Amino acid sequence: MNPFLTVFLRRWRGCLLVLLLCGSGPGLAAAELRFLAWDEGTAAKELDLLSAGQRTPVAGLHPLQRSKPLSLPPAEPGGQRSFRLLARETVLPEGELNWETIPHLVVDVPAGLRQPLVILLPSSRNPIGLRSIVIEDATDDFPWGQFRIVNTVERDLILATREQRLTLPGNWKPVNFSLGDGGNRSVVIAIEEDDGGITIVYSTIWLDDPRSRRLVFIAPSENARLGAVMLKVVPEFRRD
């Protein structure tokens, strides 16, 4: 074989090995799991994740930013994943565990989610005071430059600008939205009444930013004087 061709192939194989080990960019990011606290009270909880016998602290809980990433628990035969959350102060007994006597929350991650975001909300029905909602957070599903809107209200809402109109299904189904032109837009959230009329319940101005993505929750207002709904916005910014 030509000696120059031999050197080229060796170097090419070396470069390929580096790409396989390190990945080639955001599209090949390692599968990971992150958490988002719904409020300050939830963020103040000290929690551990228990999966496959390994106990790992959940670090960086915050209501306005995602936690530090953790590795995804192993998948079950059907592709779904599940793990338990415990208060850090919980001491597990030796031997076989009886989970009916141990305060915890089981979190189920649906099959197919590659980078799940686990939203932790307060709940009086759970022994550690929490419940969870899990949504996809991978950047190819929720790209940079977009808004992802999650309507937590029990009825459908409408999001509208001068050029666009979207239906926002109730009960936590995410909808992506993009301004897409580098400018800003007046945005309204509205209810479509039974008679076909429209009632605006929130208005704001959003700026297009291709280097960020914003997760927006629409929730019932905690102060009726300020309107029927409130918005909780969780931004994330590109680092590259």
Q: How confident is the model at residue 183 (pLDDT cuts 50, 70, 90)?
A: confident
Residue 6 has pLDDT above 90, yes or no: no
Residue 180 has pLDDT above 80, yes or no: no
User: Residue 179 has which token pair?
Assistant: 């301004």
Pairing of strands 184-192, 198-207: antiparallel
Per domain, the residue ranges of the chain are: 27-136, 147-237
Give the per-residue pLDDT at 30.
52
SS3 content of the chain, % helix, strand, coil (to 5): 15, 40, 45
For the beta carbon of residue 131, count every other beta carbon within 10 angstroms. Answer: 16
Q: How confident is the model at residue 227 (pLDDT cuts 50, 70, 90)?
A: confident
| Identity of the residue numbered 74 | P
Pairing of strands 32-37, 116-122: parallel
Single pTM value for the model: 0.84
User: Residue 79 has which token pair?
Assistant: 């592709």
CATH number for the domain formed by residue range(s) 27-136: 2.60.40
Mean pLDDT of all residues belonging to the chain? 87
Residue 116 has pLDDT above 60, yes or no: yes
Residue 11 has pLDDT above 60, yes or no: no
CA distance 118 to 27: 21
